[in-house]
Amino acid sequence: MATNWLDLLSAAISGGVVVKLLDYAYSEYRRRSEKSESAKALANKHLDPILKAADELVGKLRSIALRDVYDFEILLKPEEIEHNIPMTSILYLIGQFWSRIQVLYIESVYVNLSASTLGKKLLSFIRTLESTRLRIVDRALQRGIGEVLIMRDGNQLRTMNYREFVDNYFSLENTRFWFQPLVSQLENIEHTRYRQRLLKYGAVIHALIDTLDPDHMTTRERTGWANKLTKKSRLDLRFRVFPLYLSFVTNPDKYYWI
């Protein structure tokens, strides 16, 4: 009789433990699913504006790559703005791209973007573009430039349009301060160091577009400019950037193979 009671007690305890374990497992599953859905929703919300900004920038960088000589007018005085469209245009396109990324950072403070496949890939590209050997300016400076272009409309954050940027650039010393290191590089674009840094950076943005918008519903499909990269740049993309940081990119040789 005692044995029977012990068996019943053991079964009851075991059953309770199983129920608790199942309850915990289900709760954990729901928590992770909700986190994944939140991450996916946020990534989807920001993907389109990031892709559009990336597409405009890649178009400009491809134009620079295909031209052996590309002179930017030095930014002088506000009254001479009509002579500075090439420079202000690329400053805006780069700043716009960084601004879109910065808005994503701001709105994802309480969301783990890497909980979704899309968010994880997007973050991988952003972190790669911000890595020491690939970025074109210091990470803090990039984020500062991105924040300069952010405006608030009610509860929504948005990026300045081109006219707003130009007005701010020539009227606010603080805006020019943030952009000055980038301006200095662009004024020396014919130097191999600065030109290659910009073109290599653009190659990764090109890969971002092709990977996150493979059917090009939002962006244009473009050929690369590997033939305009130096051997050093191509080797860096081939053996370091893509295999180490962006191994999920299909057909990476499009961006470095001649």
pLDDT of residue 170: 87
Write out pLDDT tens, residues 40-94. 888 889 999 999 999 999 999 999 999 876 666 555 455 555 557 788 999 999 9
Beta bridge partners of 159: 150
pLDDT of residue 21: 47
B/e letters for 43-62, b = 16+ CB within 10 Å, e = fewer, are: beebbebbbbbbbbbbebbb
- Residue 217 inside a domain? The answer is no
pLDDT of residue 38: 76
Q: Cβ distance 139 to 147 under 8 Å?
A: no
- Residue 221 inside a domain? The answer is no
pLDDT of residue 42: 83
Q: Considering its fold, how many domains does the chain have in total?
A: 1
- Residue 155 inside a domain? The answer is yes
pLDDT of residue 39: 77
pLDDT of residue 40: 81
- Residue 235 inside a domain? The answer is no
Could you give the C-alpha distances from 114 to 49, 118, 205, 214, in angstroms and in order? 19, 8, 19, 20
Beta bridge partners of 153: 156
- Residue 248 inside a domain? The answer is no
pLDDT of residue 111: 86
Q: Which residue has the tokens 């991988």?
A: 124
- Residue 254 inside a domain? The answer is no
Residues of the chain with pLDDT under 70: 1-37, 69-83
**255: number of Cβ within 10 Å:** 25
Q: What is the pTM of this model?
A: 0.83
- Residue 158 inside a domain? The answer is yes
pLDDT of residue 196: 95
pLDDT of residue 226: 97
- Residue 226 inside a domain? The answer is no
Angle, in degrees to the nearest 10, between helices 85-107 and 117-129: 130
Instruction: Give the domain range for residue 60.
Output: 2-188
